[in-house]
């Protein structure tokens, strides 16, 4: 859809990750259709003003049949134990882009597409600073100016080694 010369739409940033799983150790629910995890600012982070958290939706947003769904078999955690909690952070390199989107009225969520695993390109390897265990995901951005957002993401990804491993797909 076009508004004031801008094209509104959805952008999917694929082959990405949720960082800092090792700090929180909360696995997202795997549901069908996939659960959309919300992205929000982490205003209390004094070390990084652009930090963004990835949150599991509140329990009341899920079908009552899913409330006893096991999200972590090893720790016996159910959806009712983890709903409404953060599971990790938006990678630092993407956070400022995401804030720009949120500040202009856009929305961002993510869908996990795998279990926590060792970092993969373009993220640092597990032995490097910033590496570790990540949750593979695709970020879904609903934006007011798709062309400007794609350019901003492309520019940002060009600054990181292996940034071309992430895929940007526009849809309207």
Does an H or E element contain 158, and which? helix 146-158
Give pLDDT tens digits for 120-170: 888 877 777 777 889 999 999 999 999 999 999 999 999 888 888 899 998
Q: Give me the phi and psi of 5, to 5 degrees please.
A: 80, 0
Q: Encode pLDDT of 95-108 as tens digits.
A: 989 999 998 899 99
Unique residue bearing structure tokens 């600012």: 41
Helical spans, DSSP H, in 17-120: 21-24, 79-82, 92-103
Is residue 160 within 8 A of residue 13, CB to CB? The reply is: no
pLDDT at 171 over 80: no
Peptide bond into 122 cis (omega under 30): yes
The structural domain count of the chain equals 1
State yes or no: pLDDT of 2 exceeds 80: no
Helix (H) or strand (E) holding 154: helix 146-158
Q: How far apart are CA 68 and CA 66, in angstroms?
A: 5
Return d(Cα 142, Cα 172) in angstroms, integer. Answer: 10
Q: Looking at residue 47, which CATH number applies to its domain?
A: 3.30.70.2330
Rounded to the nearest 5°, which phi and psi values hold at 11? Answer: -125, 135
Q: Which domain holds residue 46?
A: 2-171
The pTM (predicted TM-score) of the whole model is 0.90
């Amino acid at each position: 859809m076009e508004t004031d010369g801008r094209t509104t739409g959805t952008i999917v940033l694929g082959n990405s990750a949720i960082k800092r799983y090792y700090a929180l150790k909360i696995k997202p629910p795997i549901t069908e259709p996939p659960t959309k995890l919300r992205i929000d600012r982490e205003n209390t982070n004094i070390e990084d003003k652009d930090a963004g958290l990835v949150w599991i939706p509140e329990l009341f947003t899920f079908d009552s049949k899913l409330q006893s769904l096991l999200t972590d078999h090893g720790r016996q955690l159910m959806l009712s134990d983890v709903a409404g909690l953060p599971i990790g952070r938006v990678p630092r390199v993407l956070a400022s882009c995401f804030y720009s989107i949120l500040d202009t009225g856009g929305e961002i969520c993510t869908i996990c597409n795998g279990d926590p695993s060792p970092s993969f390109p373009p993220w640092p390897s597990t032995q490097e600073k910033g590496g570790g265990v990540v949750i593979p995901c695709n970020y879904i951005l609903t934006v007011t100016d798709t062309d400007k957002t794609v350019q901003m993401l492309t520019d940002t990804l060009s600054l990181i080694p292996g940034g071309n491993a992430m895929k940007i797909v526009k849809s309207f």
